[in-house]
Chains A and B, each alone.
Chain A
């Protein structure tokens, strides 16, 4: 019995210590955002009303915009976050559903042909005097249909199945993002020269985040769809209900918990993302993390104002975490992780 007792104390102590380590930075940010300057610059102070007199001044300043515009980046983050999430979850669920219910066969050689034609065509058309963006567009438009046609032929070499397609989607996430971020920056800059502005625009950012959220959505939603019973769909198919209607009216409603969890995770990813926003925006469509990262350099050590900025970024994620925790209590966690 005493051994049992002592092991309980040890586990509780371990959880308690990690709890304090986890919670302290949140507590510190929260109280610092209410501190007057004197309570920050005079050394560390810990307890409101005892160590210092809390004030709302930093929040008022942030709201009035007297210390740089917070409202626009907040709005930008929200708009881009919601549109990219909706698009990614919609397109990703469709793809995930197809990967669960249908069989796909992609010949490796056709994929290699796509890469070869894409790169070769780009170099060739540029040699013939097209601009870089045009050469890219034309070579893409030629490479894609011809490799799709090639895929129909009986080419030698390995044939990739559904699992490989899923892996292909997920591997886009394993790449170091700087590789794609630079490539995308160059590409956005090139098509900008030809008259389609993508850098520092709403459409450019939304498209970029949609694409980089898709792998996670496909991966998560595939698990949720796999867990659904196939009989209801089969019954509907017998009644000649079109597949698209089955998907939107039967499958998606059944997968609702999964859809919510996936959306929240995607939204969190877009809301927190820094690198792409850093490269692809310059002024109009800067998101919160970019504004946040600049705080220190043009304000020096005004920690109370910086804490307010951090709170603005953190609070929506805290709410999101509580939502996720509730979902997971209702038995979602294993499906999402496996």
Chain B
């Protein structure tokens, strides 16, 4: 039991994470209570909760939270619905299944920056194929990246394109664990596919659905790359997300205390979301199992 070799195994990884990921957090927690600017350099001083108070009273902060939440809710909903549907279709033994499986994996592995670059090209107002398609069916050219509502739509659709594969992958893995006998019994009772889905498949996949949506929401809240390239947060600040806002404050204005406070508020938002989400869903999950 008291086998000292186990420390040789775990300490290297533990130390790296402590030094690179955790200890800097302590430091930036301290900085978030200070007034600290690099450009112009002013003496650092302790100001308590001022950075946090200033942020919370700022309208831009709330608008950024709203935009990020909107992107997250819309894109994750579509990802889940489309991903689940495609996973069901794939599970039902289609022709050319192998080709579909490999292809559906691809978007997830691409650099979001590259995806956003390509999206910029596709959504281009005059030479892009999407507007070309719209004019073919008689619609006017749409200002995808320069008008707030269309730009949000473009960002959401790029998110959906890139991350639906993750939902497909996970739901497919879940579908493969379902016992076949239940469906045979349902077939005997002449249950329609629709009834079988709501009566068997959906409830049995509820735990994995909860996990998939949780992971996707946490990941989507971090969205930066796509917005950075596609709209840069514009027009105005209408598509600015939390991470982009923090980046702008920190690296354009070098207002480090303020940025640290912002990133800790961000962390708080994620934690609150996680706790509420799990608290709301726990009763449903426990009832099933």
Contact = CB atoms under 8 A, between A and B. Distances in A.
Interface of A: 7-8, 10-12, 14-15, 18-19, 21-26, 28-29, 32, 40-44, 46, 91-92, 94-95, 97-99, 101-104, 115, 118-119, 122-123, 132, 136, 140, 144, 169, 172, 174-180, 182-184, 186-187, 207-208, 210-212, 214-215, 218, 242-244, 247, 268, 271-272, 274-275, 278-279, 288-289, 292-293, 295-296, 301, 303, 306-307, 309-310, 313-314, 317-318, 320-322, 324-325, 329, 333-334, 337-338
22 contacts: A15-B90, A19-B99, A24-B129, A26-B106, A28-B118, A28-B129, A29-B121, A123-B30, A172-B17, A172-B22, A182-B250, A184-B21, A207-B16, A211-B17, A214-B17, A243-B3, A272-B110, A272-B112, A274-B228, A275-B224, A293-B228, A334-B173
Contact of B104 (A18, A43, A177): A18
A176 B9 contact: no
Most central of B3, B100, B111 by chain A CB within 10 Å: B111
A102 B6 contact: yes
B23 interface: yes
A289 B13 contact: no
A274 B104 contact: no
Contacts of A324: 105, 109
A15 B89 contact: yes
A303 B121 contact: yes
B51 interface: no
Contacts of B94: 8, 11-12, 15
Interface in B122-162: 122, 124, 126-129, 132, 161
A26 B114 CA distance: 11
B169 interface: yes
A279 B246 CA distance: 12
Interface residues of B, number: 96
Interface stretch (B198-206, B258-266, B279-287): B258-266
Contacts of B243: 176-178, 275
A293 B117 CA distance: 7
Contacts of A307: 118, 121
A20 to B, nearest CB: 10
Interface string B84-99: 0110111010111011
B256 A186 contact: yes
Interface in B1-42: 1, 3, 5-6, 8-10, 12-14, 16-31
A272 B263 CA distance: 23
Contacts of A177: 222, 243
Given A122-B27, A313-B114, 18 more contacts: A14-B85, A22-B161, A22-B165, A28-B121, A32-B121, A102-B3, A172-B21, A176-B221, A178-B263, A180-B21, A182-B246, A184-B24, A187-B23, A214-B17, A292-B117, A295-B117, A303-B124, A306-B117
